[in-house]
Chains A and B, each alone.
Chain A
Amino acid sequence: MITLMQKFMRRLFGNFFKKKKDIKMGLYGPPNGGKTTLANQVCKDWLGEEMGSVSNVAHETREIQIKEQLTIKSNGKELSFNLVDTPGIATKIDYEDFLKVGMKDGEAKARAKEATKGVVNAIKWLDDMDVVIVVLDSTKDPFTQVNITIVGNLQARDIPVLLVANKIDLKKSDIKRIQTAFPQYDVVGISAKCGNNMDEFYEALFKISR
C-alpha cells in the first residue's frame, strides 16, 4: 500500500515539475532484439550520428546510454525526449557462451560480469522512465517470461508502452505472434537495421507520448 502511495505521489508531483523536454524514453527488451540498432536509426534520422555499437553477440550494450534532448517531428508536431538505451534483460548469463564465439577466457568473464551489472541497472532505471519502447525480435517466440515480466512491470508502474516488432526484413518475422502475446498494446513492425516503416514508428511515439 505504501509503495502504491509513493508511486502515486511520484507520478503526481514528478510530472507536475517535469518539463516536456525532460521526458525519458527507454528502450527495453531481451538481448539482441535490436534496441541499440533502433537507437542508432532514430539518432541517424534526427541527429545524423549513431548512438552505440551493435553486434551479433548478445550483451553488446552493457551500460545505460543516454542521448539527451532528441527532437523528432511528424505531421507538423514536435516531440523532445531523452532517449535511454538499456542493456538487454535476461535471467541467465553464462560466460561460456562468449567463449563459443571466440572470446578469450578473461574477456568472456569480464563481459559476463558487466552484462549482469547492466541487467541490474536496466531494472533499476525502470522507475525513472516516462515512456518505454519494448523492442522484440519478431523472428523469435515473444511468449517468454522475460518479455512478460518487462511488460507486466511497465503496466504495474503505469508507464505508457509501445511494442516494436523488429527485424521485419527477415523471412521468419511474424508480427502477429507478438500481437497475440500482448493484445492490450499497439505493435509497430519495423526493421531498425534497414530503416523500414520508421514513419509509422514515429507516429506511434507521438501517440503514446501524449
Chain B
Amino acid sequence: MLTLQFMPYDEIANLVSNKRISKVLNIVKGNNILLLEGRLRKEEEAELIKRTMEEIDEDFKGIELGVIYPDEKKNPDFFNKIKSNMINLLLGDRRGFTIMGPATIVREIKQDPNKIQLFTNTNFKL
C-alpha cells in the first residue's frame, strides 16, 4: 500500500529548521509520500539534502523531491518583492506545495512550473 500523507504548513510553522527537517524526513523514511503545503526555506532544502545523505544506509536510499511554486515575475518591482519577503518572513512560505518520497518507492519526480509527475519504481507494486 502506498500512503500519501498531507501536512498543512501550520504543523511546521513554529518549528526551528532542524525540527522541521526531522519531521518531514521521518515521514518519508516511514515509506510515505509527503505532500506538504508550501515549501521549506531554500537553506532548509539544502540542509534536508545534507541530512538525507547522512541517514542513507542499505534500507534508506535517499529521497525524491519536487516543489510546485507559483510563477514569480522575472523582475518583480521593489514593492512586490518587499511585500512577498515580508509575508514569507511573518507567515512562512505557504504558497505552492512540496512533494517528497523515499527513493525506494519514487524513482523520479518531473516538474515544471505548473505540474508534477511522479514515477514509481517498477519493482514497487501499488
Contacts and interface: CB of A to CB of B under 8 A. Distances in A.
Nearest to B107: A92
A149 B49 contact: yes
Given A119-B49, A145-B109, A145-B111, A92 B43 contact: no
Contacts of A95: 58
Interface stretch (A11-19, A44-52, A120-128): A120-128
A68 interface: no
B74 interface: yes
A90 interface: yes
Contacts of B64: 91-92
A91 B49 contact: yes
Given A145-B67, A149-B45, A123 B50 contact: yes
B42 A153 contact: yes
A112 B43 CA distance: 24
Nearest to B74: A183
A183 to B, nearest CB: 6
B42 A91 contact: no
Interface residues on A, range: 20 to 34
Given A91-B65, A94-B103, A156-B43, A116 B56 contact: yes
B67 to A, nearest CB: 6
Interface string B28-71: 00000000000000110111011011101010011111110000
Contact of A90 (B58, B62, B74): B62
B23 interface: no
Contacts of A148: 67
B63 A119 contact: no
Contacts of A126: 46
Interface string A154-190: 0110000000000000000000000000011000000
B50 A93 contact: no
Given A91-B62, A94-B61, A141-B110, A152 B53 contact: no
Contact of A156 (B42, B50, B61): B42
Contact of A145 (B47, B50, B58, B65): B65
Contacts of A183: 74
B77 interface: no
A206 interface: no
Nearest to B60: A92
Contacts of A146: 49
9 contacts: A91-B62, A92-B61, A93-B62, A116-B54, A123-B50, A143-B110, A148-B67, A152-B45, A183-B74
Interface of A: 3, 89-95, 109, 112, 116-117, 119-120, 123-124, 126, 141, 143-146, 148-150, 152-153, 155-156, 183-184
